[in-house]
Amino acid sequence: MSQPRFDVVAIGNAIVDVMAPCEDALVAQLEMAKGGMTLVDTPRAHALYEAMGPAREISGGSAANTLAGIAALGGRCAFIGQVADDQLGEVFAHDIRAAGVDFGTPPRRHDPSTARCLIFVTPDGQRTMNTYLGASQYLPAAALDEAMIADAAVLYLEGYLWDPEEPRHAMRKAIAAARNAGRKVAFSLSDAFVIARHGDDFRELIASGEIDLLFANEAELAALTGLEDFNAGVAELAPQVPVLVVTRGASGAVAVSADERAEVPAHHVAQVIDTTGAGDLFAAGFLFGHVRGKSLAECLKMGAICAAEIISHYGARPEADLGELVG
Amino acid sequence: MSQPRFDVVAIGNAIVDVMAPCEDALVAQLEMAKGGMTLVDTPRAHALYEAMGPAREISGGSAANTLAGIAALGGRCAFIGQVADDQLGEVFAHDIRAAGVDFGTPPRRHDPSTARCLIFVTPDGQRTMNTYLGASQYLPAAALDEAMIADAAVLYLEGYLWDPEEPRHAMRKAIAAARNAGRKVAFSLSDAFVIARHGDDFRELIASGEIDLLFANEAELAALTGLEDFNAGVAELAPQVPVLVVTRGASGAVAVSADERAEVPAHHVAQVIDTTGAGDLFAAGFLFGHVRGKSLAECLKMGAICAAEIISHYGARPEADLGELVG
């Protein structure tokens, strides 16, 4: 098999983050699930925006953030995701291309508007996300460039995109395209609430051997396995996937493959400003190491460094030179 | 005269800033006037955006930034400015209202789109601005709420808005409304290039006694007076306005009235990140002190503290509690 043109092609929500700091009391008052991601409809999105303080807009989307990280590390990436033909769609497209990521999905010329995520960041740096999916939920399977997917070492998928029907079909089709080409499929479980809705699908994908690399955090591991104990969860899930990566926030991360197990502590951060994108950038560092043939321990270390950079500032796209940071 | 309902009503460009860090080489390559503000048309705006790295959108506009600062200090403010009926217009309206500023100018239901300012921030923290005026240039005199202007202690105007014809007429009408109500008029010269275009108008406004407080920086002072020497410029201009305030960047600021002259050093900043909004927030601190009856020295100190907060982070709207900072 020839050297693939891309290191990673990803399919994900094409989202602009609308972020503002807030007090814990506001999260409670607005009845948001602190630390989670909730899908919101137009009236709820308006009500939450109304209640939000002065905000800033920074391109986001879980898999898109991961690609921006990989591109910053020197990887060759392409993104597939649906924006609308509007100002936020232009912002998303500009930012991901300016980050060095190929992005060719044509904007959709109808309502609804480009997806946005209203993110309330509490003083502890924790983010609480409210996603208005908008155009993102209409990514058609026809938008997939199967030749491009076949020409990437890894296809990376975000679990968040399993919620809407059209992208779910597109992702299933993409998995088949990648596997037929002999490429690897990486999957992020994204969120414990998403697993509550689609855990059966995810367990089936894993059981049928469709996933080569699985990314989870502690809560997602517990939600997927039904096991509260971290080690029991890892012991249960690890034999089912070639590579399992579980992040534990301030406690670091663990990776397990058939013949290797590695752990890494969290990388030191002077002050945690905003944890938005921590998991996305951890995946960026890990995946970049993986496609470059590094050991699990080295991949984890690169993930931890990238995650540390992202939580030291507002927004889920890297600001520092990640390539320099990981050495 | 009864206690006015507002401390400050301002008329200004309703702009969303699109900001990205860049190297000095890019500023040179794109032939931008480093540190200045240039008006750009649609093709130039597209070309510059294309050349810009991943960006973030933060509401801006000179006078709007000043009001956000005054509101953060506890002042009662209202803003008059023109946005379009689009996503960036919604962002602008949300952010200024969320900052605690009254904003009631109805969005304009036609092309062009809401104004944006493409800001390239070099490693020295200097900002180079390229403004696409869009809807902002169509602020009609009819949009003025003259009763509101008459009910504010100070009417604050930004020189930037003197470029487009309709807002210039609106501002002249607003000045008349404020003066008829016995209120003060404050004016920011905004930019040396604006003075090159409209210096005669500005000198006439000053000579005819329409301006009570005049804000300038060193370059604007030189452009307006034609005098390169700072002290000569101050000596020339000060007798023409009741209060003259001149900022000197890292060298602090000077304020002169008929019976008082005060100076303040720049407030210490650990690291200058982005100077966008420094002058706007200096004006915020000074004006808030002024309407609260403080001495020139106290007003300058408040201005310096507010300017220091804004240059310590990206964006021209305050992030810290300014009220606490000024004590």
Mean pLDDT of B85-93: 98
Which residues from chain B sit within 8 angstroms of residue A95, using beta carbons? Answer: 54-55
Query: Using one digit for the tens of pLDDT, what is the confidence trace for A156-170?
Result: 999 999 999 999 999
Give the best residue of A87, A113, A322 to mutate against chain B (max B CB count within 10 A).
Answer: A87
The C-alpha atoms of residue A66 and residue A241 are separated, in whole angstroms, by 21
Q: Is A68 on the interface with B (CB under 8 A)?
A: yes
Which residues from chain B sit within 8 angstroms of residue A88, using beta carbons? Answer: 87
Domain B6-326 has CATH 3.40.50.2300: no
Percent residues over pLDDT 70 in chain A? 99
The C-alpha atoms of residue A153 and residue B126 are separated, in whole angstroms, by 41
Which residues from chain A sit within 8 angstroms of residue B54, using beta carbons? Answer: 59, 68, 94-96, 98-99, 317
pTM above 0.90, yes or no: yes
CA distance A57 to chain B (A): 5
Q: What is the pLDDT of residue A1?
A: 58
- Which of A208, A168, A120 lies closest to A12 in space, CA to CA? A168
Judged by phi (left if over 0) then psi (alpha if -120 to 50, else beta), residue B100 lies in left
Q: What is the pLDDT of residue B1?
A: 58
Domains of chain A: which residue ranges?
Answer: 6-319
Q: What is the pLDDT of residue A327?
A: 83
Q: Is B104 on the interface with A (CB under 8 A)?
A: no
The C-alpha atoms of residue B120 and residue B27 are separated, in whole angstroms, by 8
Q: Is the pLDDT of residue B8 over 90?
A: yes
Q: Which of B21, B86, B95 sits opposite A54 (nearest CB)?
A: B95
The C-alpha atoms of residue B175 and residue B187 are separated, in whole angstroms, by 10
Structure-block tokens of residue B252 = 């602090």
pLDDT band at B96 (very low <50, low <70, confident <90, very high): very high
Mean pLDDT of A87-93: 98
Arithmetic mean of pLDDT over chain A = 96
Domain A6-319 has CATH 3.40.1190.20: yes
**Can you say how many angstroms the Cα of residue B288 is from the centroid of all Cα atoms in its chain?**
14
- Residue B99 to residue A54, Cβ atoms within 8 A: yes
Nearest CA in chain A to B115: A87
- Which of B103, B35, B106, B114 lies closest to B64 in space, CA to CA? B103
